[in-house]
Structure formats: structure tokens, C-alpha cells
Chain A
């Protein structure tokens, strides 16, 4: 059974710092991995999607990497801003599952202090 773990559960950094969020998954047979952002009282917004054949994806100050063989992904945020404060979740789509079901981690709650 696929399990997704995110460490740390919470992180507080000063503005301007570069940071890395970690995601690990137990079964390397995945179709893809996504990183989402969730603001309080809001739904999830997809940030980056990495296909199993890819190593990384970039969008602005965000860079996500994928090491499928070791079951790990990282989300790198450069020059963090207070507006980056949110909960970040990663989710994997199991390879053999045709239902497009995503298995989510429990998230990392990020606070960027001004």
C-alpha cells in the first residue's frame, strides 16, 4: 500500500531564505507526483507536476525534483516571501491505478516571517 510522508510537518523561516520541503513515498511504481499549495480555508492549487520519466520541473521560484528509485521528491523555494506561507502537500498517482486516484501526504505547514 502506497504511503506518502512529508517532513517536516511545520517550518518557520525568515523572509529571503531558500528552503527545501521533503516528500517520500513507499512504492516507486508511480505515474507522476504533484506538489500542491493549500491556503487556510481554501482548496488546493497545483504547483508542479512531475511525470515518472522526468527528474524535475520548475515554475518561477519553485523547483521540484523527483528520484523515483529512492522514493523521494523535494520542493525547493528560492528567496522565500511572506506570501509563500501556506501548507504544501505532495501527492503521487500510483502507476497501476487507472482511476487517477492521488495519494496525499499530510503536508508541511510553512510560515515565512517578514
Chain B
């Protein structure tokens, strides 16, 4: 099992550009979480999907952020337009159904730098 796969590992972009982060869940998992990690604010949940449906998006900073699950194994997080304050490490995590849902499996993250 390859684990949760995120791409790209690093992204450097200029302010105003669109950024798309990608995540492939572990096979059989049906919950998907996007987290953001910064030195100032630590780890924050952005959005949570269950069975491809967004359940809680209260952590999404503003309308510039959007997330989708076009199928059961893949998700994207898009920032448009990007701003320097969006610079952070973005993690996605997945978990299996049932009681195993409590245990999250994290990807290695995407380091985003917006200049």
C-alpha cells in the first residue's frame, strides 16, 4: 500500500496565480481531510469529506479556497487567486470506514510558497 499520495511536494508560485493541490486516498478509505500547517497557527482542518460529500468546510479560509472529490479515491484543493499568506504546508489525510475512521493516515504534504 503506497499510502496517501500528495502532489506536488513543493509548489512555488506568484501572488494571484491559481494553485491546485492533489491527493490520492488509500484504497478502501472513504473519509478525506485537508489540513494546513503553519508555524503561527499549527495544524488546522480546512475541510472534511465522507463518501465524496463535503461534511464540514467551516475551516476553509474564504471563497478563494475550494475542494472537490470527483471520485472516491481523489481530491483537489484549489486556491484562486493565491496570496502570500496562503504559504503553508498542506496535508491531506484519509481514514477507513467504520470504527477505523478515527485513525488518520497522512500524506507527506505539499509545501506551498506564494511570492
Q: Chain A residues in contact with chain B, CB under 8 A?
A: 32, 34, 41-46, 49, 89, 91, 93, 98-102, 104-107
Alpha-carbon separation in the docked complex, A6 to B58 (Å):
25
- The contact sample of 22 A-B pairs, CB cut-off 8 A, is A34-B102, A41-B108, A42-B108, A43-B91, A43-B107, A43-B108, A43-B109, A44-B91, A45-B106, A49-B103, A91-B43, A99-B45, A99-B48, A99-B58, A100-B31, A100-B33, A100-B101, A101-B45, A101-B48, A102-B45, A104-B42, A107-B42
Alpha-carbon separation in the docked complex, A89 to B31 (Å):
21
Alpha-carbon separation in the docked complex, A78 to B103 (Å):
24
Dominant SS among interface residues on chain B = strand
Q: Which residue from chain A places its CB closest to the CB of B3 in the assembled complex?
A: A43
Q: Could you tell me which residues of chain B, from 35 to 94, have a CB within 8 Å of some CB in chain A?
A: 42-43, 45, 48, 55-56, 58-59, 91, 93
Contact A93 B102 (CB under 8 A): yes
Number of interface residues of B (CB under 8 A): 23
Q: Which residue from chain A places its CB closest to the CB of B104 in the assembled complex?
A: A46
Q: Does residue B4 face the partner (Cβ distance < 8 Å to A)?
A: yes
Alpha-carbon separation in the docked complex, A101 to B48 (Å):
8
Question: Shortest CB–CB separation between residue A74 and chain B, in angstroms?
Answer: 20
Contact B104 A105 (CB under 8 A): no
